[in-house]
Amino acid sequence: MRPCRTALVYSPLFGNFNFGDDHPFKLQRNRLAYDLMGAYGLLDLPNMQIRDCQQASEELLLTFHDAAYIARLKEFSSSEEPRADFRFGLGDADCPVFKGVYDYAALGAGATCEAVRLVVEEGVDIAFNMNGGWHHAHRSRASGFSYLNDAVVAINWLIARGRRVLYLDIDAHHGDGVQEAFYDTDQVLTISLHESGIYFYPGTGFEDEIGEGRGKGYSVNVPLLAHTDDAMYMKAFDEVAYPLIAAFNPDIIVTQIGADTFRTDPLTNLEITTHSYGEMLSKIKRLKIPWVALGGGGYDLMNTARAWTLAWAIMNGIKLNPRLPPAFIDKIELLGYRNRVLMDAMHWADEGERVLALGAVEKSIARIKKTIFPGILGSYGAPSS
């Protein structure tokens, strides 16, 4: 059996842009993760490669995005002054307009398109783009730090080549833009585990959002209450996502593996650690289905660097020392970080909070098993033409 071939799609240009000093999204996390991977010796493995990327072409972007929106994004991107057009979601607190914003977004989309191309055309088994997973971007509107929906553009490219695609989103936020793009088709199964939209952005992703028309049953959502911990998250993954992935049996899996589910993330309220995060990714790898992974959210920079380093190690079948490399510790100390370990022990939420969260998880699972599973498990047929 040949060894697993992997590709890390990475551009030094990822760090050339800035959302603003007060914005929670910091592109420095990509470099921090890359440096930690290097400290562990994960950037020169025998069966891996590092591939650069180019901006996605406008032709590719227009397979999903509206031409007027792309034109306005390009216009604002070249401006020396901040601009705003709230009709397109541009210029608000979440999606600021800065010089080069189109170049930044198109480069991220290009990296994701390169990842899927490597899998389809060059026989790579797993490809990872840290600077991808902008699942909130809509056809003609920026939203939630997302300007171009790289996952949708890349999946459209796969569909055009006859691929059966499963999109799994484990970011703390519901993958609303991706769900919206494929809500009425049976060519893509979307599964999202996320913090509940009852009180959390973007306010979508409930169990009754199951698709429509030919897409009915091909959109699956597991909303989670605040304080959902490792055990509860794995329960949702094991009882909903994993059996559906097996039943659908896709040609390729595209995952958004945001690290904002972690218990110390400043923007979210879940209580996940590297324990369940690593378990999920290990189970995905064991399926031996061609796999493209996209970074997504994560607003504690060290959490994100640790998560994506662990992910890359799992993708390459490498077991890492749970303590961070001394040289990396010396580097991050100068930046004010006190982290010493890569992996966390399994975490349990406080009992009172856990009871409420567990009840919500069990209710969601039961509802999905009632509405999705009877007509779906074992019966996902070939997609309609």
Residues with active-site annotation? 136
Q: Torsion over CA of 11, 32, 261 and 51, rounded to 10 degrees?
A: 20
Task: Catalogue the long-range contacts made by 88-91 (C-beta closer than 8 Å, 24 or more residues apart).
Answer: 88/140, 88/141, 88/142, 89/138, 89/141, 89/142, 89/143, 90/142
Phi, psi of 129 (to 5 degrees): -115, 105
CA distances from 51 to 79, 136, 384 (A): 31, 26, 34
**First-to-last C-alpha distance (Å) of the chain:** 35
Identify the three-state secondary structure at position 224: strand
Identity (one letter) of the amino acid at 159?
Answer: I
Tokens representing residue 339 in the block: 């982290």
Cβ neighbours of residue 133 closer than 8 Å, sequence gap 6 or more: 150, 151, 171, 256, 257, 258, 294, 295, 296, 297
Tokens representing residue 142 in the block: 């920026």
Cβ neighbours of residue 381 closer than 8 Å, sequence gap 6 or more: none
Identify the three-state secondary structure at position 79: coil
Q: Torsion over CA of 195, 198, 200 and 205, rounded to 10 degrees?
A: 60
The one-character DSSP state at 215 is: G
Tokens representing residue 23 in the block: 């914005």
Q: Residue 127's closest CA among 305, 253, 291?
A: 291
Q: Residue 253's closest CA among 261, 239, 242?
A: 242
> In sequence order, which ranges of the chain are alpha helices (DSSP H)?
28-39, 58-61, 67-77, 101-122, 150-160, 176-181, 230-236, 242-248, 274-286, 301-315, 326-334, 351-371, 373-376
CA distances from 161 to 116, 120, 154, 171, 207 (A): 11, 9, 11, 27, 31
